[in-house]
Structure 1
């Protein structure tokens, strides 16, 4: 009996993955629980075990294929593969050497077309097709459910998709064109020629860059692919507004240096980011609409009575954002120890998905890399994100026009990107003012536990 192995729902909102390794060959034998494939989701690589033992009859994917829940991965043949009752477990019809009742659907077609009832029954579950075939169907705008597959077990092949696309091109549209080209005399007098149906704008088609020199095509993978998708969504759905300011952190830097060794002895690193987290928590508690989300109906504000702040960490895999929970309830020392550990595991690839979920606000700091100022993109569905630039000694003039004085002060650039649907510019200015006041008074950070 042949049994299909399909990509099952891994949970946690994951619907697709990329095949990064195939650990078996067609014809090899596996036992139940043996790892047969390795797939990579947005944040982790997972080995998929065989649900049953048997001989690998067919491998439906290749390294680099992007698969979705329900896609066929491989077919295993057991000892009773010749049993005429053997049907695949994933919803496809029969095996490649089906009985007389199944009509020998092994590629040597008898020429008889499947009835509508047969087609519906065959496609009741996921349509058997390789991920590359599914991509082709999406590109050509063809619904796989409407195609009678000519491959083994009714599997839809690339040739089936192209044939269906060509059939649609020569279908109703061409017939409409023929009607439009009918002689004018056949229309009643005074009847206008119908206007052509408006077609949707086609997607952007880049030029052939190889015309101007050598190119290399490298697929977006893993974290970078997830980042591209989420950033495009956030920029498209959230009306961003940027509020810029600077905070005098001269006293804060002295405080940081005075307490760095004590925090290091406890296992943490007292950074400027840690102190900003504490100040941001106080501002979020005072102005909860920056610690909120807009519900899916677009008319309800979800105010969160917790303060979980994500901190962007640059890694070799890409940008990861572990979440520090209950920032408003923890001391500066506790935050330093926790953030140090989360950052280390982010760079080592040891974060769990749970540790990167549930954030209500985000802080990102490029100052350590050398960026003076930038405008971050809000992480959907949060209401705001705070970007930190490089703190620099800057001449600051004080006094009045008649008796000015100039001092060197350490100034930290701030950029608050906020969702204009939830907050206005005046509220953003008030939020940043509160943040600045906390950063300029280090003693207030010690009391805010």
Structure 2
């Protein structure tokens, strides 16, 4: 029997996009849920899986074609092909009342799948709208299952390969919703109705882009739930800037750009080891602090579509040249809409460098569920009094915003002072290990 593969729903408010890459050819045999092509939205590239097991008989799209949800992509011959039993419509469409009976609220002290943070293989539930996760990777049957339960699938964290959302993830999230232990992300935020601005003059109304909506939701949540404090300082980078320029050509020949951001990534990773409360998470439901043993740092990237924060993983295990190359590649992916959902997840700390634009200091918003963010502004030559005379020094303004629930002001000063001293005396990085 010949079946049609059509473009499924790939995310909220995603109606169309481009074919980025074909992963199969006519005559190939594919398994159920095997990716057959890459679909590019205005922010991310996601895999489109086959809803059947069979042989590809026809392909109706090519790389670069623009397609809409529901458009025909391929045809598959499914006769004599064994395939796992898919979720049926009857199984997927479950009223919420039945879900409560089928997935009852947990007993006191019971650990649900998805609530244990330290076990990465278990389904996880996210309390906050995750920043810039536009496309939730899930099959059409899982999306239908979540939709019938009234669950916003973008707020469910996936435990499958590449963060893919499974039925068990949706069930775990539903358990917490019906038990009253979890509220949908953003549910505690209220917005006043705006006045009718057209009464006062001409207006132009434009819908928010998907990236802008996700950014607005996440930052509203972070600002409303995290008690922010910002600590300011400045570092003398006169000598460091000379060294950066001296070695920039060698790094560029290797495929990267030796920027102050890349250097700061290495310094911040060392600081996070010395000050573990900055590499942590706050679990207010269980009244505990989660200290992370890995060092992933997000870097804010300004793109034509809005703010993106790709994550560089295991920063402590990479040298500055490797970080420069990876940072250059990630920034390029962000600006060319090549980032995957995995590229935007798993950060412990963020760095936002506005120095290329200008300004002195600013108050960056903590990227929840992280607990701190370092803002970097433009360096400038300033007179510094030293040994009885003023000397011209290149000074770099730094702004550290942090979550005051678990970070005290004195610790924030110590953390930022250590970063400043490491910029002024890079040998400190070697001492810290």
Please indicate, yes or no, whether the TM-score normalized by the shorter chain is above 0.5. Answer: yes
Query: Of 366, 376, 401, which aligns to 1:417?
Result: 401
Structure 1 Cα separation of the partners of residues 6 and 272 of structure 2: 45
**How far did residue 91 of structure 1 move?**
6.0
2:326 is aligned with 1:342: no
Query: Of 397, 400, 404, which aligns to 2:385?
Result: 397
Instruction: Answer yes or no: is the 8 Å Cα contact 2:239–2:424 preserved in 1.
Output: yes
SS of the equivalent of 2:14 reads strand
RMSD of aligned Cα (Å): 4.4
Where relative contact order (Cα < 8 A, 6+ residues apart) is larger, the structure is 2
Instruction: Answer yes or no: is the 8 Å Cα contact 2:383–2:392 preserved in 1.
Output: yes
Structure 1 Cα separation of the partners of residues 279 and 52 of structure 2: 44
Q: Which runs of 5+ in 1 are unaligned?
A: 24-32, 53-64, 75-88, 93-119, 135-200
SS of the equivalent of 1:344 reads helix
**Equivalent position of 2:256 in the other structure:** 268
Q: How does 1:19-418 map to 2 (within 5 A)?
A: 19-20=15-16, 40=41, 43-44=44-45, 90=89, 204-297=192-285, 299-399=287-387, 404-418=388-402
2:2 is aligned with 1:18: no
**How far did residue 302 of structure 1 move?**
0.6
The TM-score with structure 1 as length reference comes to 0.59
Superposed CA deviations along residues 179-234 of structure 1, whole A, max 9, x for unmatched, are: xxxxxxxxxxxxxxxxxxxxxx9952211111122222211122111111111111
Instruction: Answer yes or no: is the 8 Å Cα contact 2:46–2:340 preserved in 1.
Output: no
Superposed CA deviations along residues 23-70 of structure 1, whole A, max 9, x for unmatched, are: 9xxxxxxxxx9x9xx895874578798989xxxxxxxxxxxx9x9xxx
Instruction: Answer yes or no: is the 8 Å Cα contact 1:17–1:40 preserved in 2.
Output: no
SS of the equivalent of 1:16 reads coil
Structure 1 Cα separation of the partners of residues 250 and 386 of structure 2: 35
**Equivalent position of 1:164 in the other structure:** none
Structure 2 Cα separation of the partners of residues 237 and 213 of structure 1: 36
Structure 1 Cα separation of the partners of residues 306 and 339 of structure 2: 13
Q: Moved runs in structure 1, 4+ residues, more than 3 A?
A: 5-10, 20-23, 38-52, 89-92, 443-449
Structure 2 Cα separation of the partners of residues 257 and 444 of structure 1: 20
The TM-score with structure 2 as length reference comes to 0.61
Of structures 1 and 2, the larger Rg is shown by 1
Instruction: Answer yes or no: is the 8 Å Cα contact 2:43–2:339 preserved in 1.
Output: no
Structure 1 Cα separation of the partners of residues 365 and 286 of structure 2: 20
Q: Which runs of 5+ in 2 are unaligned?
A: 20-29, 31-35, 54-67, 73-87, 92-97, 99-140, 151-188
Q: How many residues align?
A: 307
Instruction: Answer yes or no: is the 8 Å Cα contact 2:257–2:325 preserved in 1.
Output: yes
Structure 1 Cα separation of the partners of residues 428 and 211 of structure 2: 38
